[in-house]
Chain A
Amino acid sequence: MIPQLFFIYFAFAITGLSLLVVTRKNPVHSVLWMLLLFFHIASLYLFLNAEFMAAMQVIVYAGGILVLFLFVVLLLNLREELRIGKYIGAGPTGFTFALALLVVVIMSLRSFVAAPPGIYSIDLIKSETHAKILGKLMYTEFLYPFEITSLILLVAIIGAIVLAKRRLKT
């Protein structure tokens, strides 16, 4: 009973916070609501025995990406932002599309059949610790995708510098 209540609280909090993120007029408020949303999602990961992913969620999303967003929001003209309407003309179409997508996928959920469980049971994760199991898999079976990820991040760094730097006058 307690786990269900816990999940219901987090489900309602996450839904409400995501709605607040996309409906606030002031972008700074949106970013701050999103910070709270990421902490709730991290707690949900803890609830699923994924403590390393919860730490990653807090460090990368809340500590890295949101600070980046907050810096870019500083560029905005907030007074004009608060005066002008927040939705474009195609807003109702977007709402209908998102609602239709939600209904279709939730209806298709009934035909979901779970695969047979794998070897990483909760007892194994508890005895070996989560980060150790994840690290072992990451550096053996998934080494090649891991290296490609480092290349993606390098390309992102170079691309961000090239896009954001001021053009030199020749």
Chain B
Amino acid sequence: MVPLSWYMVLSMIVFAIGVFGFLARRNIIIMFMSIELMLNGVNINLIALSHYLQDMRGQILAFFVIAVAAAEAAIGLAIVIALFRNKATAHVDEIKEMQG
């Protein structure tokens, strides 16, 4: 039997890699992929807890996380397309109209 804490450490590692990718990468599409990575880390944690605590609510929460991730990807990529139309760039350090 694999201990529960192994799964929690694995999910934290995936989440931290996602945080790193979101904060450090220049390309906005890779930043969106890092968000997906973070959501997957949370899903691993939820499903492992659901299995070890013998409660289905964790898996239902993971199901809703997947639905929200799909919605978020659709909206985010539409924003990226609108950005391409206006600025023709995918680099976050070239988008600085908002800083006043």
- Name A's B-contacting residues (CB within 8 A): 3-4, 7, 11, 14-15, 18-19, 21-22, 27, 30-31, 34, 37-38, 41, 44-45, 48-50, 52-53, 56-57, 60-61, 64-65, 68-69, 72-73, 75-76, 81, 84-95, 97-99, 101-102, 105-106, 109, 112, 114-115, 117-122, 133-134, 137-138, 142, 145, 149, 152-153, 155-157, 159-161, 163-164, 166
- Name B's A-contacting residues (CB within 8 A): 1-2, 4-10, 12-27, 29-30, 32-34, 36-37, 40, 43-44, 47-48, 50-57, 59-60, 62-64, 66-75, 77-82, 84-85, 90-93
Instruction: Tell me which residues across on chain B come within 8 A of A68, comparing CB atoms.
Output: 73-74, 77
With A21-B33, A85-B26 given, is the CB distance from A133 to B20 under 8 Å?
no
Instruction: Tell me which residues across on chain A come within 8 A of B9, comparing CB atoms.
Output: 106, 109
**In the complex, A70 Cα to B42 Cα: how many Å?**
24
With A98-B16, A102-B16, A109-B9 given, is the CB distance from A65 to B69 under 8 Å?
yes
